[in-house]
């Protein structure tokens, strides 16, 4: 790879079949859409998956297991919040019939079983987890972990599958300040992963890219379909890519708080997934968890027992 190559593009160049999955639930799969459109334009076969915040028991689709529903544009469900369904319908209108493998929120053990079953069926030669935000790099002893339950379940589960290429892409530097993440801790994590050979580099999304334009269209259409539930992360990253700066609010959900929309939010940070998984200080405590509550409790217990939680450190610039 040289200076004119995207680190993600170089890592995925040999791959022909790719599983692209949202790590943190809800709209995280939308942060992967620029990759989805760009990879399809290269002629690659791309499958979508997402840890879902939708009440999937009220949705229709191909039920693959108690925690796994394959959603298509013909599915039904609670349309006031069902981003995966609205995305499938948007893609159909663009001439792309694509299903989304939706996973119920669970502990690490059931999600690992689901990832193994899905990858055994699809036989991808690359798995790419996408995190909208940067809290997926918190190892456990930071000042704040953001919303770790879904990210940790996805990271450990996807890392457990047998696949030659497993990556994590983080989009939205600065967004997780809204959720209590100290971004000095994120940069420390990147430095440590760089030292270990787990950081593959970063590149910018820009509004001139056709894949970004298609992503923006998809996000805004789904926002219109679910006006009470726009994504804070997607809205913030889109605002940054458009050139907004500072305390700019694209959605009503952030009104009353102070945002710092900035150009760094458009960066995609690319990591070796297994390297990220190895850094989790409490991984062995949570691998057998069955439910989100059990997983959250295990993380909280680790935090209470850990003697060296780092203090908050403001970035020195």
SS3 of the chain: the string is CCCCCCHHHHHHCCCCEEEEEECCCCCHHHHCHHHHHHHHHCCCEEEEEEECCCCHHHCCCEEEECCEEEECCCCCCCHHHCHHHHHHHHHHHCCCCCCEEEECCCCHHHHHHHHHHHHHHHCCCEEEEEEECCHHHCCCCCCCCCCHHHHHHHHHHHHCCCCCCEEEEEECCCHHHHHCCCHHHHHHHHHHHHHHCCEEEEEECCCCCHHHHHHHHHHHHHHHHCCCCCCHHHHHHHHHHHCCCECCCCCHHHCCCCCCECHHHHEEEEEEHHHHHHHCCCHHHHCCCCCHHHHHHHHHHHHHHCCCCCCCCCCCC
Task: Check residue 252 and give its pLDDT.
Answer: 87
Task: Check residue 60 and give its pLDDT.
Answer: 97
Task: Check residue 45 and give its pLDDT.
Answer: 98
Task: Check residue 74 and give its pLDDT.
Answer: 98
pTM score, whole prediction: 0.95
Low-confidence ranges of the chain (pLDDT < 50): none
């Amino acid at each position: 790879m040289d200076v004119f190559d995207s680190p993600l593009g170089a890592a995925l160049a040999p791959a022909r079949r790719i599983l692209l999955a949202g790590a943190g639930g809800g709209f995280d799969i939308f942060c992967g859409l620029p990759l989805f459109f760009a990879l399809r334009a290269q002629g690659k076969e791309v499958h979508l998956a997402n840890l879902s915040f939708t009440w999937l028991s009220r949705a229709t689709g191909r039920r693959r297991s108690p925690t796994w529903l394959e959603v298509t544009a013909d599915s039904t469900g609670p349309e006031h919040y069902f981003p995966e369904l609205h995305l499938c319908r948007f893609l159909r209108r663009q001439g792309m019939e694509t299903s989304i493998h939706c996973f119920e929120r669970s502990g690490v053990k059931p999600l690992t079983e689901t990832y193994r079953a899905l990858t055994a069926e699809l036989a991808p030669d690359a798995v790419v987890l996408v995190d909208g935000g940067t809290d997926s790099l918190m190892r456990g002893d930071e000042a704040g972990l953001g919303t770790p339950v879904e990210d940790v379940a996805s990271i450990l589960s996807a890392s457990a599958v047998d696949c030659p290429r497993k990556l994590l892409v983080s989009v939205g530097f600065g967004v997780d300040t809204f959720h209590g993440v100290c971004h000095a801790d994120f940069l420390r994590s990147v430095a440590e992963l760089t030292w270990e050979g787990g950081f593959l580099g970063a590149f910018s999304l820009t509004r001139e890219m056709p894949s970004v334009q298609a992503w923006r269209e998809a996000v805004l259409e789904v926002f219109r379909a679910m006006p009470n539930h726009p994504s804070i992360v997607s809205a913030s990253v889109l605002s940054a890519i458009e050139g907004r700066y500072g305390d700019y609010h694209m959605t009503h959900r952030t009104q009353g708080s102070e945002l710092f929309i900035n150009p760094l939010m458009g960066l995609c940070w690319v990591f070796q997934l297994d390297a990220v998984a190895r850094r989790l200080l409490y991984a062995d405590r949570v691998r057998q968890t069955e439910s989100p509550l059990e997983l959250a409790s295990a993380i909280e217990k680790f935090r209470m027992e850990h003697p060296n939680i780092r203090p908050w450190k403001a970035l020195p610039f």
